[in-house]
Amino acid sequence: MDDSSPTDKPLNFIQQVIKDDLQSAVLTEVVTRFPPEPNGYLHIGHAKAICVNFGLAEEFDGICRLRFDDTNPDKESDEFVQAIIEDVRWLGFQWQGEVRYASDYFGQLYDWAVVLVNVGKAYICELTPEQTREYRGSLTAVGKNSPYRDRPASESLALLEQMRTGAIAEGLMTLRAKIDMAAANINLRDPVLYRVKRVPHHRTGSEWSIYPSYDFAHGQEDAIEGVSHSICTLEFADHRPLYEWLIDNLPVPAKPKQYEFGRLNLNYTVTSKRKLRQLVEENIVDGWDDPRMPTLSGLRRRGVSSTAVREFCDSLAVAKTDGTVDMAQLDHFIRHDLNDNAPRAMCVLNPLKVTLTNWAPGQVETLTAACHPNREALGNRELPFGGTLYIDRADFSDDTTLSRKKFKRLVLGQWVRLRSAYVIKADGVVTDESGETIEIIASIVPDTVGENPPEGIKPRGVIHWVSAEHSIDCEVRLYDRLFSEADPDGGGKNFLDCVNPQSLEVLQGCKAEQSLASATPEDHYQFEREGYFCLDSHSSSKDKPVFNRTIGLRDNWQQKK
RNA sequence: UGGGGCGUGGCCAAGUGGUUAAGGCAACGGGUUUUGAUCCCGUCACUCGGAGGUUCGAAUCCUCCCGCCCCAGCCA
């Protein structure tokens, strides 16, 4: 927390503020909060906010709460609340105390609204929504006062009470702060504090007919909870003066301060709840947790670990610039964690039969393979080896002119190493009527398991395989980026027009090694030479496993021309 | 044309007047390798949006200019 810490990373501007506050004894405890609105699922951008808020609390020995900003029942639901709670847990964060809700404070907020009316700093306005907009003025023109601005407090109070009890229809009245209709900051032009919404709320039911606006709720909630540093994204910077005005004009128990940082943008995807919801509602994806979605539930279903998400977030800057991070940076952390921790296995995506002519019929040899090339602790697995195998179609060629450098796989008449097993030679092929290779006739080189082949036999490379008799059939889903454009909604484009038509490729009849039969959706595997995979949590069944490709292996071998 | 915020290599980003402008991602060379993976080594900004100015000395201070983002919901 101070210079004695081993952290060599420079402090970001918020850490600096906190450090200064602590040193000058402005505060004794750091209290932060993650305040999502339960109107959708959390996405990778929220992960950054979560990591920032929980991270700061942890770093400075403070606390961080989880609080739902549920002030708009039109868009919110318990389904979203539950999904968000699960996502925060999955990321590995534990909030202080019970989950909080803005709706816990509706009573207090209402009392404070009454206070404001009583001191002449709020009034009931009966302008229609259209009139309200007109009266507000524009970016360059000042607004003008509402004709209701100076009505007696007693009158506003009576009306507010009627609004609360449901006697007023939606759109007829609002409670507005009396600030300054000529303010350069539009948020200060008598902002709406309460509006009528005669819809049931997912927590308070039909108890309320009015709901506080974001501005009237957020800062006061922070104050009630003793939040010391209220961290939000850049677009709220314009609201800060209003946040402070309310805190200063209300008998709140604390004076939290708001700080804004740049939200995370990622290329080749969208991080806006509105757009994500559209993808879901228009069935462009398979739901909020479709593996192509940048939602936390989508990433999780795809097989991305929470560690990867956290490390990615920690690699991001907390600053006031709003840039767009390259998806490759997320990919890096996904691979980094999986490479370290995912057990290896083999799965043939596009099977091509291989018949061994010098293998005794019916004979099965059980080979052993390490689950990880450089982590013995992950143990070994058994690999049955029989006379009929499958290798990937892409790993065989009958073009003998291919250079060894260009094609490090099996070529007709030549040798290749089967990973963790024998070296084999392709002696011939069987083709169908159309001339396509449907089977390879091959032979093993004896005594080559874990041993180099005799002089003169030079395998071109190492390929993965599976024993036909012992493999299990499975479906494999290969995912690609959801959008084919780096900036799907830039330059006046409609992001829906940029959806990548090849973002999902489904492979049937894939052959996985036996050990994969016991996979669960929580397990992550590396299918050697292919990438990282996990069992799909929705579509898999005992007799038909479905694997999602989390991400492919890095592929550096650009063909040279 | 009002207000707020921001501009450092392809991307993200340290840097808050003083030797050769951190680091990560990407890219590109090379080494190791029974995964074309991992790992390892190396290369990659005479320059900090632009132009002036202050100073012995500036990405860091001043002036003007240019560009980008956000704000006119009874959304958050």
Edge-to-edge strand list for the sheet holding A344-345? A344-345, A525-527, A531-535, A546-552, A472-479, A504-512, A347-348
Neighbours of A298 (CB within 10 A): 24
| Angle between the N-to-C axes of helices A13-23 and A44-59, in degrees from 0 to 180, rounded to the nearest 10 | 20
A491 touches strand B (CB under 7 A): no
Question: How far is residue A4 from each of residues A7, A17, A62, measured CA to CA in Å?
Answer: 8, 18, 18
User: A483 CB contacts (<8 Å, ≥6 apart)?
Assistant: A268, A269, A270, A495, A498, A499, A500
Nucleotide nearest to A449 (CA to C1'): B34
Judged on CB neighbours under 10 Å (0-12, 13-18, 19+), A405 is: exposed
Neighbours of A486 (CB within 10 A): 15
pLDDT at A7: 46
Nucleotide nearest to A339 (CA to C1'): B38
Q: For every one of its 561 residues, what pLDDT tens digit does chain A have, with 9 covering 90 and above? A: 333 333 467 899 999 999 999 998 878 899 999 999 999 999 999 999 999 999 999 999 999 999 999 999 999 999 999 999 999 999 999 999 999 999 999 999 999 999 999 999 999 999 999 999 999 999 999 999 999 999 999 999 999 999 999 999 999 999 999 999 999 999 999 999 999 999 999 999 999 999 999 999 999 999 999 999 999 999 999 999 999 999 999 999 999 999 999 999 999 999 999 999 999 999 999 999 999 999 999 999 999 999 999 999 999 999 999 999 999 999 999 999 999 999 999 999 999 999 999 999 999 999 999 999 999 999 999 999 999 999 999 999 999 999 999 999 999 999 999 999 999 999 999 999 999 999 999 999 999 999 999 999 999 999 999 999 999 999 999 999 999 999 998 877 899 999 999 999 999 999 999 999 999 999 999 999 999 999 999 999 988 999 999 999 999 886 543
Tell me which residue has tokens 């961080």. Answer: A64
CB A354 within 8 A of CB A391: yes
CA angle (A379, A382, A386) in 5-degree steps? 155
- Residues 173-192/A with CB < 7 A to strand B: 173-174, 184-187, 191-192
CB A263 within 8 A of CB A294: no
- Residues 432-461/A with CB < 7 A to strand B: 448-451, 461
Question: How far is residue A266 from each of residues A52, A93, A269, A286, A322, measured CA to CA in Å?
Answer: 17, 23, 6, 21, 11
CA separation for the pair A221, A100 (Å, rounded)? 10
> Which has the closest alpha carbon to A356: A391, A396, A386, A395?
A386
Neighbours of A374 (CB within 10 A): 8
User: A402 CB contacts (<8 Å, ≥6 apart)?
Assistant: A411
What rounded mean pLDDT belongs to chain A? 96
A420 touches strand B (CB under 7 A): yes
pTM here is: 0.95
Neighbours of A505 (CB within 10 A): 11
- Residues 276-295/A with CB < 7 A to strand B: none
ipTM for the complex? 0.96
CA separation for the pair A66, A495 (Å, rounded)? 32
CA separation for the pair A213, A231 (Å, rounded)? 18
Protein-covered nucleotides on strand B (Cβ within 7 A): 1-8, 10-16, 22, 24-29, 34-39, 69-76
Tell me which residue has tokens 């929980």. Answer: A54
**Mode of pairing for the β-strands spanning A465-467 and A388-392:** antiparallel
Nucleotide nearest to A11 (CA to C1'): B14
Residue A124 φ then ψ, to 5°? -85, 125
CA separation for the pair A492, A502 (Å, rounded)? 23
Tell me which residue has tokens 């190493």. Answer: A417
Distance, CA of A115 to C1' of B30, in Å: 73
SS (H, E, C) A222-245: HHHCCCCEEEEEHHHHHHHHHHHH
Tell me which residue has tokens 């697995």. Answer: A381
Strands (E), A38-190: 63-68, 100-101, 122-125, 174-177
A46 touches strand B (CB under 7 A): no
CA separation for the pair A274, A67 (Å, rounded)? 21
- Residues 352-391/A with CB < 7 A to strand B: 372-374
CB A176 within 8 A of CB A137: no
Q: Taking the C1' atom of B10, which residue's CA lies nearest?
A: A326
| Angle between the N-to-C axes of helices A306-315 and A327-341, in degrees from 0 to 180, rounded to the nearest 10 | 140
Distance, CA of A261 to C1' of B65, in Å: 28
Distance, CA of A319 to C1' of B54, in Å: 30
Query: What residues pair up with A441 in beta bridges, in sequence order?
Result: A355, A428
Nucleotide nearest to A491 (CA to C1'): B68
Active-site positions of A? 37, 263, 273
Residue A137 zone, left/alpha/beta (φ > 0; ψ -120 to 50; rest): left
